[in-house]
Structure 1
Amino acid sequence: MTAPRTPLLVVGDALLDHDLCGRADRLAPDAPVPVVHGTRRSSRPGGAALAACLAAADGRPVTLVTALGDDESSAALRDLLAGRVELVELPLDGELSSKTRVLAGDRPLLRLDDGEGRAREATARARTAVAGADAVLVADYGRGTADVLGESLAQAAARAPVVWDPHLRGGPPVPGVRLCTPSAQEARLLAQRAGQDAESGDDAGLRTAARDARALVRAWRAHAVAVTLGERGALLSHGETPLLVPTPAGVAGDPCGAGDRFAAAAAALLADGALTEAAVQGAVHAATRYVAEGGARAATAPEPHHEPAAGPDPAGDRDPTADARRTAARVRAAGGTVVAAGGCFDLLHAGHVALLQAARRAGDCLVVCVNSDASVRRRKGDGRPLVPVADRVRVLRALECVDAVAVFDEDTPERVLAELRPHLWAKGGDYARTRLPEQPLVESWGGQVLLLPYLDGRSTTGLARRAAQAPAPAGGPAR
């Protein structure tokens, strides 16, 4: 049975986002600008509304407090949010803000912004929602929602985890926030605004980010600040020595909304009881996967979204194989490369890790196909596995290079491979002279079997044998 997830309240400024996607292969004859043709238009929730939908995508109950009006964009956003989140509306002065991106492939060429509406005032229902929240994510886009609910949010921060995603147009977070999540550029400018002197050099460097985060912890009286660094991950500071949380792998893709994905994942993990360090690690992993799977456009449909294991296991009792199928489908739909690797992974060792790291670098996501306990027993004997499948899955999912895990009961993984349809099936180099039984299947949909170097001298059987032969400690029997 699936473990219940702590409800999350998202407070912030909703936007309506549009994408015009087409092809650009020539310049206009009357000006040096690209001609975009074959355009397709799509609309999706943006700003705090995107953060709320991302938080709700794994089945978590989410309530969104935001300002909406009587304009056409507000009506369109209500339709997009219907059935996905509970909506608590504040009155809006003006028209809802919207932005339209013109893209050639995945490359943005132009952005058009419309609407300057702002939240007018708080309502009794909104204050009640904040007062009763178990956890809060504030997605501040500088349109007044956080400002009109400032007093209620300050009271919430004194009793529950609050994550605050700031904006240069917005005010400072309320005191006592558990985690603030500015980007490196935002942290630099907000730190200067808070009174820190600018320093010459690389403003995107770790030294600058650490100094800015430390200054913001003190200026905002926050428990912690995590400065997001794009492809480099995030830098977490409690005001002293910072913790760098790197991305699990380099990915290319549309980063629009990655900051919302980071903040939503961190808030969800904190809501479920994770430590701040574990929540930031999970958020980095989630944001990396989000970009690899196609970003905001791939996240538009309200389907379940997988988060990595960090702190309390976000998967709970959920079926890891179903998560793996969804992950592979999203990456494939976004034009990415799905890599799969398989094995028993009983007593995970350095050879396994090296193989999985190399496999992940070959594509945009890595799904590990792992033998069930019954399958391992048939292959290895009654004494195996040494580690039950639930623990093996959890350990594999905790690796930064692993995006999802699928479990199969058969002796070979053909069935699960047919469901995943990976572009690459990675195996260790010790299979170099063997034709794998699953090779014809993988090649039937245009996939490729890929051999990767294997670290010599690493073996689960060898580890188990050495452990069994280890001498008993002096003064007592072996335990």
Structure 2
Amino acid sequence: MSSRQPLLVVGDVLLDRDLAGDASRLAPDAPAPVVEVADDRSRPGGAGLAAALAARAGREVTLVTALGDDPASEQVRRQLGPVLRLVELPLTGTLPEKTRVLAGGRPLVRFDRGGGTPGAAGPDVAAALDAARAVLVADYGRGTARAVAGHLADAARRGPLVWDPHPRGGQPVPGARLVTPNAAEARTLTGDDARSLHADAARGSRLAARWRAAAVAVTLGARGALLARAGGDSPMLVPAPYRATGDPCGAGDCFAATAAAALADGALPEEAVQRAVTEATSFVAAGGAGSPALWDGPPSADHTPPRDADPFALARSVRARGGTVIATGGCFDLLHAGHVGLLESARRIGDCLIVCLNSDASVARLKGPGRPLTRLDDRMRVLAGLGCVDAVAVFDEDSPVNLLRRLRPDVWVKGGDYTVDTLPEAATVQEWGGQALVLPYLDGRSTTALARRAARSATGRQRARS
């Protein structure tokens, strides 16, 4: 796949606000919970969130949207200006604001207010649209996409265009490479309320034909996404890599932004949807749009999804929301059933599992000549592909103690013949109040035994041929 290509995002920006706290009592004058607000955060939502997510990895992103002179528009300019290029349509009225009240991390109520009408596109908007080679339309039904629909139709003929639709918005322009309704939106758009994967796939196929789109990805929340084409041939279900339990707010924007970025870089729709499902799952697990890390830190210079490239950020995020960080470690040279059983058991203990993995040099020192059998990049990829593993961190020393002091997991897990008293890392994790645990391990499974059996088998085949 080629290097990151520029992306143009078109759509309606909102200002999202979260009032978060705890509710432990009812109001004296009504049976309503009283929320003691501990945190008040505002951030760009809608197309603004999608554009910010696309720009996270250092991609050049231009956002075409309608902004006015109201305080909400000014706040959006302040937050988005440092990370992307803003090209504005005039807005008559005020920017829409959506306020959620959360207790214990769960929404209690949402208040919506404001809303304006986008004006005509000026020459700078037309120039940005006409120069775009890859486009994401985040249509929230507020009129921005309708205001520039002619330019978008031309853009769909030039390169990949992804359209994230809304039942109150307009139809995607013909020729869209991918349209990304969620399951509820697909039901509303087709007037069909049947609930099954077969029905979801059929709706996706019907919408692809109606919109003359190359493909439609119906997002299914925690279940993943269904990729369908007109005619109903061979729909593809892309399951989520694991079940994320965080705030799902903004997951659809993350999915659309990731898919559009992948298509801009030359990916096929199947590849784009697979990447988008993985990124959206990681986004939810890391706290969703309300995660402070999304807005407080500078954009990364590299593509670093939380799931398999930044274990330290994942650990901080899970701790920040009161979760439990689990870590385990080893060489994982030839992954076998014993490894998988240990990892699955470890993941069930807490809210994320980080694997501390010996580097190739570390494995060679510990295991001797001929090891590792599998190089580091492949071992990392196999581990990261397991649904129970949330991130992988590599260490070069013989022991992971220095890495553990950086990760500071709540629980360190090992399997096999250890006891807690004999675990070399037990004293280290106790430094910050962590705990060491030993889990049962499947007998008779080991990388050494697998390697010996493979060697005996190869020797036997060679003798048989001679």
**TM-score, normalising length from structure 1?**
0.88
- Stretch moving more, 466-475 or 398-407: 466-475
The SS at the match of 2:394 is: strand
2: distance between equivalents of 1:111 and 1:246?
A: 30
Structure 2 residue 392 is the aligned partner of structure 1 residue 376:
no
Partner of 1:310: none
Moved more, 343-352 or 96-105: 343-352
Structure 1 residues 183-216: Cα deviation after superposition (integer angstroms, max 9, x where no partner):
1110101122xxxxx35x5x3x323212211211
Q: 1:363 to 1:269 in 2, by over 3 A?
A: farther
Give the CA deviation at 1:476.
12
DSSP-derived class of the 2:335 partner: coil
Structure 1 pair 320–261 and aligned structure 2 pair: CA distance change class (3 A): closer
Q: State the Cα distance separating 1:392 from its structure 2 match.
A: 2.1
Is the 8 Å Cα contact of residues 180 and 226 (structure 1) preserved in structure 2? yes
Correspondence list, 1:92-171, <5 A: 92-171=91-170
Structure 2: distance between partners of 1:145 and 1:188:
24
Measure how far apart 1:471 and its partner are. Answer: 4.1
Q: In the alignment, does 2:345 pair up with 1:358? A: yes
Partners in 2 of 1:250 and 1:144 — Cα distance? 35
Shift of 1:473: 10
The answer to whether structure 1 residue 450 and structure 2 residue 445 are counterparts is no
- Offset of 1:331 from its aligned partner? 1.9
The equivalent position to 2:221 in structure 1, one of 208, 230, 234, is 230
Decide which of 349, 358, 367 is 2:336's aligned counterpart: 349
Matched, 1:275 2:268: yes
What residue is the counterpart of 1:311 in the other structure?
Answer: none
Aligned to 2:206: 215
Structure 1 runs not aligned, ≥5 long: 193-197, 308-313
Question: How far 1:303 sits from its partner (Å)?
Answer: 4.1
In 2, Cα distance between equivalents of 1:217 and 1:93:
34
Summarize the Cα distance change of 1:187–1:321 in structure 2 as closer, same or farther, 3 Å threshold: closer
Change (3 A) 1:121 1:426: farther
Kept after mapping to 1: 8 A contact 2:11/2:139? yes
- Give the direction of change, closer, same or farther, for the CA distance of 1:459–1:277 in structure 2 (3 Å limit): farther
Distance 1:465 1:422, change over 3 A: same
Matched, 1:174 2:173: yes
Change (3 A) 1:367 1:305: farther
Q: Calculate the aligned-residue CA RMSD, in Å.
A: 2.7
Distance apart, 1:446 and its partner CA? 2.4
Contact kept in structure 2, 1:6 and 1:61, CA below 8 Å: yes
Q: Distance in 2 between matches of 1:306 and 1:277?
A: 26
**Residues 71 and 232 of structure 1, relative CA distance in 2, 3 Å threshold:** same
Cα contact 1:90–1:126 (8 A) shared by 2 = yes
Question: What does 1:305-454 correspond to in 2, within 5 Å?
Answer: 323-432=310-419, 435-454=422-441
1:123 CA displacement: 2.7
**Match for 1:287 among 266, 270, 280?**
280
C-alpha distance in structure 2 between counterparts of 1:181 and 1:477, whole Å: 56
Deviates more, 1:357-366 or 1:24-33: 357-366
Distance 1:179 1:402, change over 3 A: farther
Query: Which whole-Å CA distance do the structure 1 matches of 2:299 and 2:337 have between them?
Result: 33
* TM-score normalized by the length of structure 2: 0.91
Distance 1:88 1:340, change over 3 A: same
**Aligned partners of 2:169, 2:306: CA distance in 1, in Å?**
41
**How far did residue 101 of structure 1 move?**
1.2
Q: How many residues are paired up?
A: 460
1:285–1:400 contact (8 Å) kept in structure 2:
no
Report the more deviating stretch, 298-307 or 267-276. 298-307
Cα displacement string for residues 362-415 of structure 1 (whole angstroms, at most 9, x for unaligned residues): 332222211111101110112111222223223323333332221101111111
Structure 2: state its 5+ residue gaps: none
- One-letter code of the match for 1:340? A
| CA distance in structure 2 between the aligned counterparts of 1:153 and 1:251, rounded to whole angstroms | 35
